[in-house]
Amino acid sequence: MKAMTTKLECEAALHTSLKNTARWRDAVAQRFPSDPRNPAAAELLRQLSQEATLSDEQWTAIAPHFERSERWSEVLSDTSRAVGIRPGFNDFSSYAGKLIEALAR
């Protein structure tokens, strides 16, 4: 049962990161109103936060890295900040894939 709880804790961390980054993007949009990427990124981040459910395969790839170090927080933050700014973040599955790629480096 602990493995499932940990998966749920990871999903909650992903959800929180995406929501917090959406709020940050909203603030950046207010500072730079001429950049249309920020409001669009904030909206995409909110959408992804609602989809934050990991497949077993995604969880297997993320589990060894989850909350192990400062690196987890750094990679999670960097990946969330890239949503809507860099290409390839079309849905939660692609977000999880980018996170997994970054963790593997």
The pLDDT value given to residue 80: 98
pLDDT tens-digit series, residues 89-101: 999 999 999 999 9
Percent of the chain with pLDDT over 70: 95
For residue 55, pLDDT over 60 is answered with yes
CA 4 – CA 23 distance, rounded (Å): 29
CB atoms within 10 A of CB 18: 24
Angle at 22 between CA 104 and CA 80, to 5 degrees: 5
Q: Where are the domains of the chain?
A: 2-104
Single pTM value for the model = 0.92
Rg (CA), the chain: 14
The pLDDT value given to residue 18: 98
pLDDT tens-digit series, residues 59-92: 999 999 997 778 999 999 999 999 999 999 999 9
DSSP 84: T
Q: Taking Cα atoms as reference points, which of 21, 15, 10, 17 lies closest to residue 62? A: 10
Encoded tokens for 71: 């690196």
pLDDT tens-digit series, residues 14-38: 999 999 999 999 999 999 999 999 9
CA 84 – CA 24 distance, rounded (Å): 13
CA 24 – CA 19 distance, rounded (Å): 9
Q: Taking Cα atoms as reference points, which of 89, 102, 94 lies closest to residue 62? A: 102
